[in-house]
Amino acid sequence: MAKILVVDDEKMIVKGIRFSLLQEGWEVEAAYDGEEGLTMAKAQEFDMILLDIMLPKMNGLEVCRQIREFSNVPIIMLTAKGDDMDKIIGLEYGADDYITKPFNILEVKARMKAIMRRNHLVNGNERKKETVIELNDLKLNTENETVYVKDREVKVTAKEFDVLHLLVTNPNKVFSREKLLELVWGKDYPGDERTVDVHIRRLREKIEENPSFPKYVQTKWGIGYYCKDEKAL
């Protein structure tokens, strides 16, 4: 049973989300301001957080940034319609996805289930066939979704792990931004290709010694991104 934290100061929205998620058999906790949401995220373990950006006491972007200092829990940001900059900043701060208000609760649940499947909370045993994957100095543990660079653990978000996992398990294969968006976020994901660029940039900042001259996640100009298998060349 998944445990969800909903952080939103609009109580009617929280009530509607809670009612719908309870129908899925999920446990739902709620917070109505940023400080309360952050406190709950520190005190309990959640499988996912729905986090509004416009919150009293502490905005959702800052809550997301601070959560990422101690947890890789999947976070879906709830943003106002047309606030593209908030969406990009949310991804920069470590959010896994975003949904624009007003939203259809069926879309919310579909997006949540898609992330849960990738994190083995619904149907996921796909990655357990091969627990540790290595490429050059990179090592990915698919059971606990941890990444190591030269045996140094690097904290990544669930979506960052998904992107890196896809590239590492397909060395020397170039994926376009459109293809990465389809494979990692899903065919029906309404976001744009900037989402991919943000996650690639965040990954490079975490795993590369010099993100401006990446060794692991490389760019094929005009085509897309790939991980190079140095042993195969």
Per-residue pLDDT reduced to its tens digit, 131-164: 888 888 889 988 778 899 988 988 888 888 889 9
Question: What is the pLDDT, as a whole number, of residue 82?
Answer: 62
> What is the residue extent of each domain of the chain?
3-118, 126-232
**pLDDT tens sequence across 205-231:** 999 989 888 888 989 888 899 988 776
The second-level CATH assignment, the architecture, of 3-118 is: 3-Layer(aba) Sandwich (3.40)
- From edge to edge, which strands make up the β-sheet containing 138-141? 132-135, 138-141, 146-149, 152-154
3-state DSSP call for residue 25? Answer: coil
Is 3.30.930.10 the CATH number for 126-232? no
How far, in whole angstroms, is CA 198 from its chain's centroid? 11
Omega of the bond leading into 102 within 30 degrees of 0 (cis): yes
pTM confidence score: 0.66
Predicted pLDDT of residue 121 = 44
- Across 46-60, 65-79, 105-119, which has the greatest mean pLDDT? 46-60
Q: Among residues 142, 170, 145, 147, which one has the least CA distance to residue 158?
A: 145
Using the predicted structure, report yes or no on whether residue 92 has a pLDDT greater than 60. Answer: yes
Flag the least confident range among 92-101, 126-135, 176-185.
126-135
- Beta strands (DSSP E) in 85-211 are 97-101, 132-135, 138-141, 146-149, 152-154
